[in-house]
Amino acid sequence: MGSRMGAKKRRAPLSREEALATAIALVDTEGMAALTMRRLAAEIGVEAMSLYHHLPGKEGLLDGLVDAVVAEIASAAGRAEADAAGRDWRTRLRLRFLAARAVMLRHPWAPALLTSRPSVPAGVYAYYDGILATLVDGGFSYRIAHRALHAFGSLALGFAQEVFRPATGERAEVAEAELAALAERLPHLAAMVAAETHDATDPTLGWCDSQTEFEFTLDLLFDGLERAQAEHRPDRQAASR
């Protein structure tokens, strides 16, 4: 009844952008489990079938969410690049990646959704092309820039893919008990888990993905790229002959 009444009161036609913005707000507030076509339609104030013109079913809706988040990352990264205009490649990439991370921290459900889709969203290719442009402008060859993209992985999108995915609820209690039982056989892993308790003020997207760890990894990669760039300079290679 509520959604029908809402549908009658609507005057402006529904757009894909409006539907996705409402879906993102819903998932940000209540989590991915709350997102259904029927619930989204009720939130917007339309009949569920009206959504199918813009979002063909649940899979189309999930693809749309990924597209929207990638577009938000690209927009944030573009602003970061503009703010860093004229600065060195390291500063520009650092600000770009941290801008992407700020988007992911606003939408903590996004990393899992992005990595679960069967195909790479088109916007991701354009985003990584911008990263390549920054590296090439910074003096890197395409060979080293290509290796850099492999090294960056998902860090460029603002999150780190976790080696150990955190368990929740009852499963978390079981996992903790299992680790305690295996401590004798896995002493280093058990000691690391015991030692690695994140500061409550350190933003995190998972047990192995805190802001501190994210920036630490970026600095390691950037340091390594600077060394690789120096080693592959034409003048240095000519001197070594």
How is domain 1-55 classified at the CATH fold level? Answer: Arc Repressor Mutant, subunit A (1.10.10)
Query: pTM to 2 decimals?
Result: 0.79
What pLDDT does residue 188 have?
A: 77
Class of the CATH-defined domain 69-241: mainly alpha
| Type of residue at 140 | F
| Type of residue at 95 | L
> Which of 231, 78, 91, 100 has the alpha carbon at shortest distance from 154?
100
Find the helix or strand (DSSP H, E) in which 205 lies.
Answer: strand 204-206
Residue extents of the structural domains in the chain: 1-55, 69-241
| Rounded-to-integer distance, Cα 187 and Cα 184, Å | 6
State how far the alpha carbon of 165 is from the alpha carbons of 112, 204, 209, in Å. 10, 13, 10
For residue 129, what are the contacts with CB-CB under 8 A and spacing of at least 6? none
Q: pLDDT under 70 in the chain at which residues?
A: 1-12, 162-180, 193, 196-198, 200, 207, 234-241
122-137 vs 142-152: helix axis angle to the nearest 10?
A: 130
pLDDT digit string, tens, across residues 83-138: 999 999 999 999 999 999 999 999 999 999 999 988 888 899 999 999 999 999 99
